[in-house]
């Protein structure tokens, strides 16, 4: 009887995580679900703007590259950066070659997701950032890869810093269509 109650209790605690629904009309084949230490964030990838960058994000998510990766650079009023699954501090990238820029006219506004890069426009690899506010100086200079469609309140809760001390993490990142 005690075992049965323990199992039922565990199932009741797991129900909120299992019951999290995805936004209606989400293109699940081109969306990533980021379960962070602060909650879930859903990003609709913009394959119409940056097909190669979106494909890279999905590839790395499917390989588990982003799991347990910290938000290493989080600047209040600007953006939260993550995606360094090699060094965990913003200095690394994936085993794949850098991507050629896919710049667009989409403005950098709250919730827009862009690819991080060095001074070289064609140096984006695995790291990306989520905008807290509008930032016109980035427009046309960084590749827009998506838009947060759910969970921006969880991005708002991330610990700030440059670098962040004891940073929040992307616990698990999945392509939405792969979630069972």
In a domain, residue 99? The reply is yes
Give the percent of the chain with pLDDT over 70.
Answer: 89
In a domain, residue 12? The reply is no
What is the model's pTM? 0.89
The first and second tokens of residue 50, run together, are 């940056």
Domain count, the chain: 1
Would you call the peptide bond into 163 cis, given omega within 30 degrees of 0 as the criterion?
A: yes
Residue 47: which CATH number?
Answer: 2.40.100.10
Q: For the segment 46-103, what is each residue's pLDDT rounded down to a tens digit? A: 999 999 999 999 999 999 999 999 999 999 999 999 999 999 999 999 999 999 999 9
- Domain hosting 166: range is 28-178
Strands (E), the chain: 31-36, 39-45, 69-70, 73-75, 79-82, 112-115, 128-131, 144-150, 169-175
């Amino acid at each position: 009887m005690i075992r049965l109650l323990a199992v039922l209790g565990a199932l009741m605690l797991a129900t909120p995580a299992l019951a999290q629904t995805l936004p209606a009309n989400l293109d699940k084949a081109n969306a990533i679900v980021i379960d962070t230490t602060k909650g879930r964030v859903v990003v609709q990838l913009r394959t119409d703007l940056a097909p190669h960058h979106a494909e890279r994000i999905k590839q790395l998510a499917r390989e588990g590259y982003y799991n347990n990766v910290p938000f290493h650079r989080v600047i209040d009023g600007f953006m939260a950066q993550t995606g360094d699954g090699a060094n965990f501090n913003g200095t690394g990238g994936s085993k794949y070659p850098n991507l050629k820029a896919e710049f667009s006219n989409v403005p950098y506004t709250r919730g827009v997701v862009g690819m991080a890069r060095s001074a070289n426009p064609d140096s984006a690899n695995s790291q990306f950032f989520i905008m807290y506010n509008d930032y016109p100086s980035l427009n046309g200079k960084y590749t827009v890869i998506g838009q947060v469609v759910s969970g921006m309140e969880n991005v708002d809760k991330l610990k700030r810093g440059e670098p962040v001390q004891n940073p929040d993490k992307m616990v698990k990142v999945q392509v939405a269509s792969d979630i069972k």
